[in-house]
Chains A and B, each alone.
Chain A
Amino acid sequence: MSIDASVRPKRRVRLDSTVIVYIALVVVVVVGAILVNTAGRNFFSTGNIRDILTGMSVLGLVAIGQTLVVLTGSLDLSVPYVISLSSLIAAETMRGNPNNIAQGVLFALAFAAVAGLANGLVVTKLKVNGFIATLGVGLIIKGYLDTNYKGSSGSVPTEFQYIGATGLGPVPISTIIMLALATLVFLFLRKTRMGHHIYAVGGSLEVSRLSGLRTARPVIVAHIICSVMAGLAGLLLASRLGVGSPTVGSQGGYDLLSIAAVVLGGTLLAGGRGSIWGTIGGVAIFAVLDSVMSAIQFNPFLKDVVRGVVIVAAVAIYTGRGLERRRARFSTKEVSR
């Protein structure tokens, strides 16, 4: 008798949640295309595809960063204000002069990185819950914005506006940048120790600590990357608007929408499980829904209702699956001899 047979449980292959997201995306695209066609328009027209991809780029950037933060078990509610102030810093530094582009980008991202560092330090060193810590940092930035800006300010040169306006065929440059960064972050999570440790601290701080990890670092790094991504989103918005705006971030609702996309993408809000590609899928679902609802002239007030239903349904489905899997641990059938 070999020692293995008696404890080997039967394992069923389960769909990864990322796969489910993309199945859901396909369903949304098919149903959306049919609805749009019945409204007499072509869902797959170049213009429409470009609109959807453009819609994905800003939220995508923010959601990539948010994924990292959520994976560590934290949250970032300061992103809208980081976006707004980054756009202002960039536009005011550039002042319409193409020679200042590099400087403007640098300043905006440096500010974002500092904001992220502040978030990360408050969460890890002062042990303030991420929700409150980033809300606080966000409010501080908001206070600065409210007292110093009454409206849009600065201007970005035409050269910089190209980033937001051009594309390769139907694919906007901004979307390509977003997807390239998604790939980079995916590789970062998969191929670096820091990436592995982001999952570890989110999975269990105690296990990570007992395994000798410096548990603050992954959280701080995730917060910095998240804010820098928000800074990039601010730059992209500045490039589209041509100016910096103190309200561009909060009007977009990027804090809650990015968290929603992350969760829709199958990342556990408690941290420790999730993927970048799931998040991108979640962002795509939101973008397609938006596009379809505009195309069929859906009641704008009901748009958010649809978004809300989608996100709640998604989490309910994941939770149900999670419960089932937990149970399976206790009901694995033995292989009888």
Chain B
Amino acid sequence: MDIEINDDLRNSDTRRPRMNTPILEARDVSKSFFGVEVLHGVSMQLMPGSVHGLVGENGAGKSTLMKIFAGVYQRDGGSVLFDGAEVDFTHPIKAMHAGLATVFQEFNLLPERSVAENVFLGREPRKVGFVDNRGMSRATGALLAELGIDFIDPDALVASLSVAEQQIVEITKALSFDARVISMDEPTAALADHEVELLHAIIERLKARGVAILYVSHRLKEVFDLCDTVTVLKDGALVWSGATTELTPDSLVRMMVGRSISTFFPAAIEGTKVGETRLSVMGGGNGYVDAIDLTLRAGEIVGVAGLQGAGRTELAEAIFGAVPFTRGTTILDGEKVTIRSARRAVKSGIALITEDRKAQGLALRQSVLDNALLVIRGVFASRTAVVRREVPGILSSLEISFRGLNQEVQFLSGGNQQKVVLTKWLATKPRVVILDEPTRGIDVGAKVAVYSLMRELAKEGVAILMVSSELPEVIGMSDRILVMHDGRITAELEPGSSEETILSAATGTLTGPLEEVA
């Protein structure tokens, strides 16, 4: 990365604060919802020009703290100091105008409007009373250039941008408020590795301008790569706050979950046998993937790695019939099948845990029970009554925490929502389970629960295909690793292959064994 910091830019920043006093500080901040205290007197300091990692399991209070800073929630006790003065933002826009911007996980962008219109929404520059559209584009282009971005057209519709680019638009918007603090809520949750690099380069630039970054992340590697200081929260209380150099990955995980990293990826359960072929695809292809040859065996976990856009999700959707193969042959348990719809797939015993939990996995405003029974009611209606009795058992075996079967799933944490999705599919007793980014945006505890479940399913003879952008996950869980590039499977790697090997296959620079055959 050739990130050069423009000296003019640095000097022109008149709002640049002193480097040795905190720009943002929480003192004994507490917050309750409906009588339940979710933050207990948390204190932390954020220094200008530094990146401060805010880590902890889901439900630890990271998002709540961030939203108190952002003015989305009002604190119940304690104080927040911004640039040395106590502040009390009653609306997010007030925090933005003060110079405290937040990039939420759910982007606050209008997909049908241009980049420039999004950046300046509500503050459109005017000339003699009329919106200066051209000036707005130019100003947006200049802000993007400050971030070192020359490939986003200020006039492009946000809907036409990739997730990573949309995130850059959010950061540009923050910059347009002359933000001195930018909080980012799991900014890399939806990014592929090369996009993460880009984001980190942007963060370096912001740092050099004296902007302080509050960085919420589940990825431990990032915390060590990027953060100067770290605050660990657990169950709403401060566990530790200090310099990253004082931490090791192991000590950090222990502080977050009270469990060591070595048990992070559970080993295969005693007695798991890789058996006969469950599902095989020969020469499968459609508009998104091509020349797919794939075999899934009973008791086997096959990982699929690749960059965003390599066609991994499309492969999962093709096998599941959501966007069916238009070419090739699929054989399921020795029988040739044609899976042209999701309904057909479900009837054949295939399950797909989708990447986007909220949009594709759950009916958010319906209850836990309704969601758990969604597939059963839709496809195997006659079994509803029986499965209805099994649901509580499945839920409790996944250690889901919820208020009751009638609670709406929108109020559950990400990890618990994912467990509801898993329950929904387990209820169908699938023979082939496809998981697309199964641990995206869920806490470490829930991740381990998902991994353990995969091992258990494998023991029972289920064939598992796991699509993931998290390389440690792919390496830690897979019996075989498929790497996709440009809609094709370009390499098949041994378990325990290094991240470097997988990455070079994913970027198309490594010739895998499959390509030699082809």
The closest CB in chain B to the CB of A4 belongs to B151
In the complex, per-residue mask of A193-229: 1 if CB is within 8 Å of any chain B CB, else 0 = 1011101100110111011110000000000000000
A173 at the interface (CB under 8 A from B): no
A193 CA to B151 CA, complexed, in Å: 27
A98 at the interface (CB under 8 A from B): no
**Among A1, A2, A213, A328, contact of B121 (Cβ-Cβ < 8 Å):** A213
Q: Would B1 and A211 count as touching, CB distance under 8 A? A: no
Count of chain A residues near B, Cβ 8 A: 41
Q: Would B108 and A192 count as touching, CB distance under 8 A? A: no
A191 CA to B151 CA, complexed, in Å: 26
> Which residues of the other chain, A, contact B428 by a CB distance below 8 angstroms?
none
B412 at the interface (CB under 8 A from A): no
Give the total number of A-B pairs whose CB atoms are below 8 A apart.
123
**Among B113, B159, B194, contact of A329 (Cβ-Cβ < 8 Å):** B159
Q: Would B124 and A333 count as touching, CB distance under 8 A? A: no
**Among B131, B198, B307, B507, contact of A193 (Cβ-Cβ < 8 Å):** B131
- Known contacts A207-B109, A210-B92, A336-B508, A7 near B151 by CB under 8 Å: yes
In the complex, per-residue mask of B143-165: 1 if CB is within 8 Å of any chain A CB, else 0 = 00000111100001001111111
> Which residues of the other chain, B, contact A212 by a CB distance below 8 angstroms?
91-93, 96-97, 122
> Which residues of the other chain, A, contact B518 by a CB distance below 8 angstroms?
none
A3 CA to B197 CA, complexed, in Å: 8
- Known contacts A2-B2, A204-B110, A329-B162, A336 near B124 by CB under 8 Å: no
Residue with the highest number of chain A CB atoms closer than 10 Å, among B112, B129, B314, B508: B112
Interface residues of B in 121-179 (CB under 8 A from A): 121-122, 124, 126, 129-131, 133, 148-151, 156, 159-165
Q: Would A192 and B131 count as touching, CB distance under 8 A? A: yes
A334 CA to B156 CA, complexed, in Å: 18
A135 CA to B113 CA, complexed, in Å: 30
Q: Would B131 and A195 count as touching, CB distance under 8 A? A: yes
B117 at the interface (CB under 8 A from A): yes
> Which residues of the other chain, B, contact A208 by a CB distance below 8 angstroms?
110, 121-122
Minimum CB–CB distance from A15 to chain B (whole Å) comes to: 14
The closest CB in chain A to the CB of B133 belongs to A190
The closest CB in chain A to the CB of B110 belongs to A203
Residue with the highest number of chain A CB atoms closer than 10 Å, among B96, B121, B164, B195: B121
Q: Would B108 and A210 count as touching, CB distance under 8 A? A: yes
Q: Would B165 and A7 count as touching, CB distance under 8 A? A: yes
A303 at the interface (CB under 8 A from B): no
> Which residues of the other chain, A, contact B224 by a CB distance below 8 angstroms?
none
B386 at the interface (CB under 8 A from A): no
Q: Would A334 and B310 count as touching, CB distance under 8 A? A: yes
> Which residues of the other chain, A, contact B159 by a CB distance below 8 angstroms?
325-326, 329
A9 at the interface (CB under 8 A from B): yes
> Which residues of the other chain, B, contact A332 by a CB distance below 8 angstroms?
162, 309
A6 at the interface (CB under 8 A from B): yes
Q: Would B126 and A193 count as touching, CB distance under 8 A? A: yes
A301 at the interface (CB under 8 A from B): no
Q: Would A191 and B131 count as touching, CB distance under 8 A? A: yes
A211 CA to B71 CA, complexed, in Å: 12
Minimum CB–CB distance from A209 to chain B (whole Å) comes to: 9
**Among B92, B131, B288, B509, contact of A196 (Cβ-Cβ < 8 Å):** B131
**A-B residue pairs, 9 tightest by C-beta:** A212-B93, A203-B110, A273-B112, A191-B130, A211-B122, A4-B151, A211-B121, A8-B151, A6-B194
10 contacts between A and B (CB under 8 A): A3-B1, A4-B151, A7-B195, A191-B131, A193-B126, A207-B108, A211-B121, A330-B314, A331-B311, A334-B309
